[in-house]
Chain A
Amino acid sequence: MTRATTLLALGVLIAAILSVAAGKVWVPLDAWTAADPRSIIIVELRLPRTILALAVGAALGMSGAAMQGYLRNPLADPGLFGVSSGAAFGAVCSLYFGYAAQTWLLPGFALFGAAATMAALALIAGRSGSLILFTLAGMILTSITGSLTALALSLAPTPFAASEIMTWLMGALTDRSWNEVVVSVPLIVLGMAVLARTARSLDALTLGEQAARSMGVDPHRLQLAVIVGVALTVGASVAAAGVIGFVGLIVPHLVRPFAGHRPSATLLPAALGGALLLTVADSLVRLAPTVSELRLGIAMSMLGGPFFLYLLISMRRRLA
């Protein structure tokens, strides 16, 4: 483990502890025992929320790093595959039909949406292993699921359902419970394990597709692993927290100068960086003096948009 990775891991640990303590009610460490009445805030609200922030952040950061390595494009984002908008459409369907009252149905629908988009992507891209076909298919699926989501919103049966859909689409970790942890975290861990296994192939891809194949990389297996890994991590993240953009785009960039440019070297630091970013951001939106809590998804977009612009401007000289 490099020094940067160790520092990041330490940062994640500190952020996690502070995140459990911080909120509208500050709960100091000595009040975390069962004897203190405030411990119920810790156990029932803060702990699951912090665990989800850590898991979702790590999932988005790592899948972003894997996507950028696979597509060999620093502007790639897990959202490109259409998996997150597919998962969002699944969740929106459950809200549209009013199924979301049952705890398991919304994440279940979101995961089904992610899996269906993934299957469609695999079917369209076929066994070609072609990067262009794959990216275009992902973009088209994003656009289709996006318009279906808009359709569901415009045809929402009641104003309440419409507002619920709108709020959910903004992405947040407010009022999450252990149910979301139980549903999402194991899938995120599984997805991250699948992505971790692509590390060596992603490194070989640095030299182009033909060189990678000559080095023993099977492009079909790699593509399948990336699809499954991203679908599990991003699908489970959307199921837990709604759509939170830009983490997968920003974090790999932030860690790359310290971790080295080799794709495999960025996977773990990007996971840690994502966990750190989302945990800190979620603590800050909780602490922000707004009437209703600032949505995490909006906060990340407010951060991500300007960052994207900065990235483009800094790359402009090289691209022009």
Chain B
Amino acid sequence: MSVLAAEGISLVLGGKRVLESVDAVFSGGRVTALLGSNGAGKSSLLACLAGLHAPEAGRATLGGAEVRAMPAPARARRIGFLPQAADVHWNIDVATLVALGRLPWRGRWGETAADRAAAEAALAATGMTAFARRGVEHLSGGERARALLARVLAGEPEWLLADEPLASLDPAHQLEVGAQLRAVAAGGSGVVLVVHDLNLAARLADDVVLLRDGRVVAAGAAEDVLTAALVGATYGLTVETGVTATGQRYIVPVGRPG
């Protein structure tokens, strides 16, 4: 499994510096959460890793090769990107939506048996097979999130980069989609998530990268990084941490220091 890395990435967007010399290494087969307050640069870093922004300095690499230098179709086959906006502009059915995930693989003569098999597997993995013929306008928020995840999974990417995939979901669906993301990592793909919910990050992530003002505060295994001191420093908050009766770590912000 190749390694996805940010090597000294600095990024300016709309005249504002959003990332400053960011170094981070992401491992395949693991779930990494990008955490930080609003405007810390999480989504920008994710988009850089997907090759969607041209950094002012530094580069994103996949297996040592610069992501932005890769031919677009090859990059799209290896890196699946799930944007924050859950846009689906036409009322296509779920099967058609998921089949769009195969576009980077599609040859000149249209859909192949492999394309259909991958789309069906993605529908099954997200529990959306029964919804295949339903129009996206008639899906609930949770079903829509799963259908969009299935779209990315249909591309069988080595890397799944998802920008707040759990943000609009209720707790039950957060756990469900979270479990699906963990299953993707268990299958060998690398998963990088932008997350706002600290407790979800603690539950889902193997590794965590903490960002503040476009810089990396800390990066490493979740249990080493999600400490009261580091999380508090990242958000400028006083934070309490603990472990539930079932062994689940929790993080509770309690207020501003002082």
Contacts and interface: CB of A to CB of B under 8 A. Distances in A.
Nearest to A214: B81
B106 A200 contact: yes
B60 to A, nearest CB: 13
Nearest to A72: B89
A258 B83 CA distance: 30
A236 B108 CA distance: 29
A101 to B, nearest CB: 47
A206 B90 contact: yes
A215 B52 contact: no
B37 interface: no
A262 B91 CA distance: 8
A208 B52 contact: no
A211 B90 contact: no
Contacts of A214: 50-52, 76, 79-81, 83
Contact of A262 (B76, B83, B92): B92
Interface in B91-117: 91-92, 96-97, 100, 103-104, 106
A213 B47 CA distance: 10
A211 B87 contact: yes
Main secondary structure of the interface of B (DSSP, over half): mixed
A203 interface: yes
A197 B135 CA distance: 26
B76 A211 contact: no
B92 A261 contact: yes
B151 A218 contact: no
A205 interface: yes
B236 interface: no
A263 B103 contact: no
Given A214-B50, A214-B52, A261 B91 contact: yes
Interface residues of A, number: 20
Contacts, number: 69
A204 B92 contact: no
Nearest to A73: B89
Residue among A200, A211, A216, A263 with the highest chain B CB neighbour number at 10 A: A211
Contacts of A203: 100, 103
A208 B88 CA distance: 7
Given A200-B106, A206-B89, A211 B96 contact: no
Chain B interface residue number, banded: 20 to 34
Contacts of B91: 261
A217 B51 CA distance: 12
Residue among B79, B87, B88 with the highest chain A CB neighbour number at 10 A: B87
Contacts of A260: 92, 96
Residue among B80, B83, B90 with the highest chain A CB neighbour number at 10 A: B90
A216 B52 contact: no
A200 B102 CA distance: 11
Nearest to B85: A208
A210 interface: yes
Interface in A177-224: 200, 203-208, 210-211, 213-218
A208 B87 contact: yes
A280 B72 CA distance: 44
Nearest to B73: A216
B96 A216 contact: no
Contacts of B52: 210, 213-214
Contacts of A261: 90-92, 96, 135
A262 B81 CA distance: 21
B103 A215 contact: yes
Given A214-B76, A216-B104, A261-B92, 6 more contacts: A200-B103, A206-B90, A207-B100, A210-B81, A215-B104, A216-B103
Interface of B: 47, 50-52, 72-73, 75-76, 79-83, 85, 87-92, 96-97, 100, 103-104, 106, 135, 148, 151, 155
6 contacts: A72-B90, A203-B100, A206-B100, A208-B87, A216-B104, A261-B135
Interface of A: 72, 200, 203-208, 210-211, 213-218, 260-263
Closest 10 CB pairs of A and B: A214-B81, A208-B87, A216-B76, A216-B72, A72-B89, A261-B90, A210-B83, A216-B73, A261-B92, A215-B76
